[in-house]
Amino acid sequence: MGMFFFLCVARAGAWQAGHNTPGNFVDITASSGVRFEQVASHTSRKYLPETMGSGVALFDYDNDGRLDIFLVNGAPLSDPAPKGTIPQKTGTKYWNRLYHQKSDGKFEDVTEKAGLAGIGYGMGVAVGDYDNDGYEDLYVTAYGGNRLYHNNGDGTFTDVTAEAGVGGSGWSTSAAWVDLDNDGRLDLRG
């Protein structure tokens, strides 16, 4: 069984106690519209990627002022996995997921429309507007190669990994966008 993603919200003023009383969290997963289960393979070899969780990004992909959720997911691994094999997302349960936050605070799955199902065994995600067009882009790290998704500003993303030359190979777990040379453009560090 994979890990479940839970949304919690603090309920201020839900108790009658002193100022040192801890917060009260309520599980709103079912009512939020987020339906995500991080899927990991369970091989007899216990490969390292299947022991690790995956990345999450909270970002406003459509510039509507509300945070959206991007969740990275795994993929099935062969048992045993032949050397050089790249895991493939063989069904929708392995897709990465993009959830758009609606004005009522609930979320809708827009993964397919956005073109973000992904490939490989996803591990991490970094958010940054690498081309300074005003829309945040995604860099997804994975076992099987990384992907740079350009935000088109219309609710869709385009895989521009090959053109940007940032695919890498093998296995990456994390990355970060930072302006290392102070030129006003984000640099990618992985």
Q: What is the mean pLDDT of residues 81-97?
A: 91
pLDDT in tens, 129-165: 999 999 999 999 999 899 999 999 999 999 999 999 9
Q: Could you give the dihedral angle defined by the CA atoms of residues 111, 113, 114 and 119, in that order, rounded to the nearest 10 degrees?
A: 60
Residue 54 C-beta-side C-alpha neighbours within 13 Å: 30
pLDDT of residue 21: 67
Residue 145 C-beta-side C-alpha neighbours within 13 Å: 16
Query: Which of 167, 156, 58, 152 is closest to 110 using CA atoms?
Result: 156
pLDDT of residue 19: 64
Q: Higher model confidence: residue 2 or residue 172? A: 172
Kindly report the average pLDDT of the chain as a whole number.
88
Which distant-in-sequence residues (6+ apart) come within 8 Å of 68 by Cβ? 58, 59, 60, 61, 62, 98, 99, 100, 101, 107
Name the residue with tokens 């603090």. 10
Say if residues 156 and 112 touch (Cβ distance below 8 Å): no
Least confident of 76-80, 105-109, 127-131, 137-141: 76-80
User: Is pLDDT of 85 > 80?
Assistant: yes
Say if residues 15 and 21 touch (Cβ distance below 8 Å): yes
pLDDT in tens, 33-75: 999 989 888 888 888 888 888 999 999 999 999 999 999 999 9
pLDDT of residue 43: 87
DSSP 133: S
Could you tell me which residues are beta bridge partners of residue 177?
Answer: 188
User: Is pLDDT of 10 > 80?
Assistant: no
**Which letter, b or e, does each residue of 23-32 get, where b requires 16 or more Cβ atoms within 10 Å of its Cβ?**
eeeeeeeeeb
The whole-model pTM stands at: 0.86
Query: Which of 6, 11, 2, 5 is closest to 28 using CA atoms?
Result: 6
Q: Higher model confidence: residue 30 or residue 148? A: 148
